[in-house]
Structure 1
Amino acid sequence: MALFKKRQTGKPGEWYYCLVHKKVEEGPECPAKDRFGPYGSPEEAAHAMETAQERNLEWQNDPRWNDKSAEGTPDDGSGPGSAS
Protein backbone atom coordinates (compact mmCIF):
# COMPACT_ATOMS: atom_id res chain seq x y z
CA MET A 1 0.00 0.00 0.00
CA ALA A 2 1.27 3.45 -0.90
CA LEU A 3 2.14 5.84 1.91
CA PHE A 4 0.95 8.83 -0.02
CA LYS A 5 -2.15 8.78 -2.13
CA LYS A 6 -2.41 11.31 -4.92
CA ARG A 7 -5.65 13.21 -4.49
CA GLN A 8 -7.74 14.15 -7.47
CA THR A 9 -8.91 17.66 -6.84
CA GLY A 10 -11.12 19.50 -9.23
CA LYS A 11 -11.40 23.16 -9.93
CA PRO A 12 -14.72 24.93 -9.54
CA GLY A 13 -16.27 25.44 -12.95
CA GLU A 14 -14.70 22.34 -14.52
CA TRP A 15 -17.35 19.78 -15.37
CA TYR A 16 -16.85 16.14 -16.32
CA TYR A 17 -19.03 13.26 -17.44
CA CYS A 18 -18.30 9.98 -15.62
CA LEU A 19 -18.59 6.99 -17.96
CA VAL A 20 -18.91 4.52 -15.08
CA HIS A 21 -21.57 6.28 -13.01
CA LYS A 22 -23.16 8.00 -16.03
CA LYS A 23 -23.40 11.33 -14.24
CA VAL A 24 -22.06 14.87 -14.39
CA GLU A 25 -19.37 15.79 -11.84
CA GLU A 26 -17.93 19.16 -10.87
CA GLY A 27 -14.21 18.60 -10.73
CA PRO A 28 -12.84 15.12 -11.35
CA GLU A 29 -14.33 12.69 -8.86
CA CYS A 30 -13.50 9.56 -10.84
CA PRO A 31 -10.21 8.52 -12.50
CA ALA A 32 -9.34 10.14 -15.84
CA LYS A 33 -9.76 6.81 -17.67
CA ASP A 34 -13.44 6.84 -16.68
CA ARG A 35 -14.47 10.37 -17.67
CA PHE A 36 -14.82 12.91 -20.47
CA GLY A 37 -13.98 16.54 -19.93
CA PRO A 38 -13.42 19.12 -18.75
CA TYR A 39 -16.43 21.01 -20.05
CA GLY A 40 -17.36 24.62 -19.36
CA SER A 41 -20.84 23.91 -18.02
CA PRO A 42 -22.87 21.05 -16.56
CA GLU A 43 -25.10 21.13 -19.65
CA GLU A 44 -22.12 20.52 -21.94
CA ALA A 45 -20.95 17.65 -19.72
CA ALA A 46 -24.45 16.15 -19.72
CA HIS A 47 -24.27 15.91 -23.53
CA ALA A 48 -20.77 14.38 -23.58
CA MET A 49 -21.89 11.09 -25.12
CA GLU A 50 -23.84 12.83 -27.90
CA THR A 51 -20.86 15.11 -28.59
CA ALA A 52 -18.54 12.10 -28.78
CA GLN A 53 -20.92 10.28 -31.14
CA GLU A 54 -21.14 13.34 -33.43
CA ARG A 55 -17.36 13.68 -33.50
CA ASN A 56 -16.93 9.98 -34.24
CA LEU A 57 -19.32 10.22 -37.19
CA GLU A 58 -17.49 13.29 -38.52
CA TRP A 59 -14.19 11.44 -38.26
CA GLN A 60 -15.53 8.27 -39.88
CA ASN A 61 -16.88 10.27 -42.82
CA ASP A 62 -13.84 12.52 -43.25
CA PRO A 63 -11.97 11.33 -46.37
CA ARG A 64 -8.70 12.77 -45.03
CA TRP A 65 -8.71 10.22 -42.20
CA ASN A 66 -9.79 7.11 -44.08
CA ASP A 67 -7.41 4.53 -45.51
CA LYS A 68 -9.30 4.43 -48.80
CA SER A 69 -10.47 7.24 -51.02
CA ALA A 70 -14.12 7.70 -51.99
CA GLU A 71 -13.56 5.66 -55.18
CA GLY A 72 -12.48 2.62 -53.16
CA THR A 73 -8.83 2.80 -54.25
CA PRO A 74 -5.95 2.98 -51.79
CA ASP A 75 -5.15 6.42 -50.41
CA ASP A 76 -2.44 8.32 -52.30
CA GLY A 77 -0.62 9.11 -49.02
CA SER A 78 -1.15 12.84 -49.17
CA GLY A 79 -3.50 13.01 -46.15
CA PRO A 80 -2.70 13.69 -42.50
CA GLY A 81 -0.13 11.35 -41.02
CA SER A 82 1.55 10.62 -44.34
CA ALA A 83 5.34 10.61 -44.52
CA SER A 84 5.50 12.77 -47.65
Structure 2
Amino acid sequence: MTDGSEKYWYNLKTGEVEKGFESPAPDRAGPFDTPEEAAKAPEVIRGRSKAWADEEAREDSWGTGSVSDDPGADQ
Protein backbone atom coordinates (compact mmCIF):
# COMPACT_ATOMS: atom_id res chain seq x y z
CA MET A 1 0.00 0.00 0.00
CA THR A 2 1.28 3.46 -0.82
CA ASP A 3 1.18 6.40 1.55
CA GLY A 4 -0.54 8.66 -0.99
CA SER A 5 2.55 10.40 -2.27
CA GLU A 6 2.18 8.60 -5.61
CA LYS A 7 -1.55 9.32 -5.86
CA TYR A 8 -3.38 12.28 -7.35
CA TRP A 9 -5.25 14.86 -5.33
CA TYR A 10 -7.67 17.66 -6.15
CA ASN A 11 -6.73 21.00 -4.62
CA LEU A 12 -9.96 22.49 -3.25
CA LYS A 13 -8.55 26.03 -3.19
CA THR A 14 -6.94 26.21 -6.63
CA GLY A 15 -9.07 23.66 -8.50
CA GLU A 16 -5.94 21.99 -9.82
CA VAL A 17 -4.89 18.34 -9.81
CA GLU A 18 -1.69 17.59 -7.90
CA LYS A 19 0.48 14.52 -7.58
CA GLY A 20 1.54 13.70 -4.06
CA PHE A 21 1.36 15.93 -1.02
CA GLU A 22 1.87 19.34 -2.61
CA SER A 23 -0.80 21.15 -0.58
CA PRO A 24 -1.85 21.04 3.08
CA ALA A 25 -4.27 18.20 3.89
CA PRO A 26 -7.31 20.47 4.52
CA ASP A 27 -6.96 21.79 0.96
CA ARG A 28 -6.89 18.36 -0.73
CA ALA A 29 -9.56 15.87 -1.82
CA GLY A 30 -8.50 12.35 -2.66
CA PRO A 31 -6.51 10.28 -3.17
CA PHE A 32 -7.28 9.22 -6.73
CA ASP A 33 -5.44 6.76 -8.95
CA THR A 34 -5.39 8.94 -12.06
CA PRO A 35 -5.34 12.67 -12.77
CA GLU A 36 -8.63 12.28 -14.68
CA GLU A 37 -10.34 10.86 -11.59
CA ALA A 38 -8.92 13.66 -9.44
CA ALA A 39 -10.23 16.28 -11.87
CA LYS A 40 -13.76 14.94 -11.29
CA ALA A 41 -13.49 15.40 -7.50
CA PRO A 42 -16.00 18.30 -7.34
CA GLU A 43 -18.62 16.13 -9.07
CA VAL A 44 -17.89 13.23 -6.72
CA ILE A 45 -18.11 15.51 -3.67
CA ARG A 46 -21.42 17.03 -4.83
CA GLY A 47 -22.87 13.57 -5.51
CA ARG A 48 -21.84 12.23 -2.13
CA SER A 49 -23.13 15.33 -0.35
CA LYS A 50 -26.51 14.98 -2.08
CA ALA A 51 -26.68 11.28 -1.21
CA TRP A 52 -25.90 12.04 2.45
CA ALA A 53 -28.49 14.84 2.54
CA ASP A 54 -31.11 12.57 0.97
CA GLU A 55 -30.32 9.82 3.46
CA GLU A 56 -30.60 12.24 6.39
CA ALA A 57 -33.92 13.52 5.04
CA ARG A 58 -35.23 9.95 4.85
CA GLU A 59 -34.03 9.24 8.38
CA ASP A 60 -35.50 12.50 9.71
CA SER A 61 -38.87 11.76 8.13
CA TRP A 62 -38.94 8.08 9.11
CA GLY A 63 -42.39 7.17 10.30
CA THR A 64 -43.98 10.45 9.23
CA GLY A 65 -45.00 9.36 5.74
CA SER A 66 -43.78 12.66 4.27
CA VAL A 67 -40.94 11.22 2.18
CA SER A 68 -41.67 8.23 0.02
CA ASP A 69 -38.75 7.09 -2.09
CA ASP A 70 -39.63 3.50 -1.29
CA PRO A 71 -42.03 2.09 -3.90
CA GLY A 72 -43.47 -0.31 -1.33
CA ALA A 73 -44.16 2.42 1.22
CA ASP A 74 -47.77 2.87 0.10
CA GLN A 75 -48.70 -0.75 0.79
Residues matched between the structures, number? 62
1:33 aligns with 2:23: no
Residue segments in structure 1 that go unaligned for 5+ positions in a row: 1-9, 73-84
Which runs of 5 or more residues in structure 2 are unaligned? 67-75
Residue of structure 2 in register with 1:55 after alignment: 48
Deviating 4+ runs (over 3 angstroms): 63-66
Is the 1:16–1:37 contact (alpha carbons within 8 Å) kept by the matching residues of 2? Answer: yes
* Superposed displacement of residue 34, structure 1: 0.7
Q: Where is the helix percentage greater, Structure 1 or Structure 2?
A: 2
Aligned to 1:7: none
Partners of 2:11 and 2:61 in 1: how far apart?
35
Once the two structures are TM-superposed, the CA of residue 68 in structure 1 deviates from its matched residue by 2.6
Which structure is larger by alpha-carbon Rg, 1 or 2?
A: 1
Which fold has the larger relative contact order, with Cα–Cα distance below 8 Å and residues 6 or more apart in sequence? 2
Matched, 1:71 2:71: no
